[in-house]
């Protein structure tokens, strides 16, 4: 028995009850034109907002409302962005940040999923571990970073560990919440059928908790970029996009700072797109 079979049984029972006891009118389906208009509005709204912000930025700099050393014009940022792309500077620095963020994220996934499951299923384990998790989360990552430098030295290692620590707690909590909020009707039905621990986990509990788990993965992968940047800031390394922002700041190169932030935004969008694709794939396999 799987979660799909249980849900199909529930749907059939609900449909029979509805047909027998209810005569409420069924709402009409939206027409294809209204669906298309809704999709266009969803796309156009953020585009129009971006155009408005870009226009305000351009007017404020060209008309002297803001000093160029505080807010450079879009043309200067574009020139700095193009130079960084053609020279390979952004590609090299972004690759370092990607390695750090993915390393910390994958390490967090391997620990967060089993720990989150344990917190949801075993009270003794939760009572033992959770206070330490909460205390660790209360300590800012920027305070932990100097200790990592002392213990591990400079380089990619302490940044990966710091990224792991930033990502770990939210992923554990969201995973635990996913297993704690399972539909009791489906779980009880599987137990009545005699499902043992492993079939229960793989065929019932994991598919039901999958939306929360994928939300944890999406949040963790996005936060991993933040963890990598914090590590690059604190460890005073000269590699990575965070280090590039520091270098540009020390040289008073504000256009380069803006261009680096744009690269970071693109990187975060790519990571989010990857997690969106993984979510759709997991839903197709398990749901």
| 59-97 pLDDT tens trace | 888 877 777 777 888 888 899 999 999 998 999 999 999
Residue 62: the pLDDT is: 80
Residue 212: the pLDDT is: 86
Instruction: State the angle between helix axes of 156-180 and 141-152 in degrees (0 to 180), rounded to the nearest 10.
Output: 130
241-246 contacts, C-beta under 8 A, 24 or more apart: 241/90, 241/93, 241/94, 241/96, 241/97, 241/267, 242/97, 243/93, 244/89, 244/90, 244/93
Residue 18: the pLDDT is: 45
Residue 263: the pLDDT is: 92
Q: How far apart (Å, rounded) are the C-alpha atoms in residues 230 and 226? A: 6
Spans of the chain, pLDDT less than 70: 1-31, 187-188, 190, 192-195, 197, 236, 286-287
pTM: 0.76
User: Burial level of 231, CB count in 10 A (0-12/13-18/19+)?
Assistant: buried
Q: How far apart (Å, rounded) are the C-alpha atoms in residues 234 and 159? A: 9
Residue 26: the pLDDT is: 46
CB 235 within 8 Å of CB 158? yes
Q: How far apart (Å, rounded) are the C-alpha atoms in residues 232 and 172? A: 25
CB 99 within 8 Å of CB 156? yes
| 21-68 pLDDT tens trace | 444 454 555 567 777 777 777 778 778 887 888 888 888 888 777 777
Residue 82: the pLDDT is: 93
Report in angstroms the alpha-carbon separations of 91 from 102, 240, 253, 263: 16, 10, 19, 9
Q: How far apart (Å, rounded) are the C-alpha atoms in residues 136 and 274? A: 29
Residue 21: the pLDDT is: 47
DSSP character for 236? T
When the pLDDT of each residue in the chain is averaged and rounded to a whole number, the result is 80
């Amino acid at each position: 028995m799987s979660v799909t079979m249980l849900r199909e049984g529930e749907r059939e029972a609900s449909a029979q009850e509805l047909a027998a006891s209810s005569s409420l009118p069924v709402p009409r389906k939206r027409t294809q034109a209204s669906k298309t208009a809704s999709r266009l509005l969803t796309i156009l709204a953020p585009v129009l907002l971006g155009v408005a912000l870009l226009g305000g930025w351009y007017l404020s700099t060209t008309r002297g409302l803001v000093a160029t050393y505080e807010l450079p014009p879009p043309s200067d940022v574009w020139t700095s962005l193009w130079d960084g792309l053609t020279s390979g500077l952004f590609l090299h620095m972004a690759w370092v940040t990607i390695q750090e963020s993915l390393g910390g994220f994958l390490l967090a996934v391997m620990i967060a999923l089993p720990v989150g499951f344990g917190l949801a299923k075993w009270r003794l384990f939760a009572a033992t571990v959770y206070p330490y998790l909460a205390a660790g989360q209360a300590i800012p990552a920027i305070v932990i970073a100097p200790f990592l430098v002392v213990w591990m030295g400079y380089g990619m290692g302490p940044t990966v560990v710091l990224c792991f620590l930033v990502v770990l707690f939210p992923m554990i909590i969201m995973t635990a919440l996913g297993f704690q909020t399972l539909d009791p009707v489906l779980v009880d039905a599987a137990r009545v059928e005699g499902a043992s621990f492993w079939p229960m986990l793989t065929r019932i509990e994991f598919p039901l908790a999958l939306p929360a788990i994928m939300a944890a993965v999406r949040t963790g992968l996005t936060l991993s970029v933040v963890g990598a940047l914090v590590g690059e800031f604190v460890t005073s390394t000269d590699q990575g996009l965070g280090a590039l922002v520091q270098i540009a700041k020390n040289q008073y190169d504000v256009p380069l700072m803006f261009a680096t932030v744009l690269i970071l935004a693109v990187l975060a969008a790519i990571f989010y797109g990857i997690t969106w694709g993984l979510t759709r794939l997991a839903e197709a396999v398990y749901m």
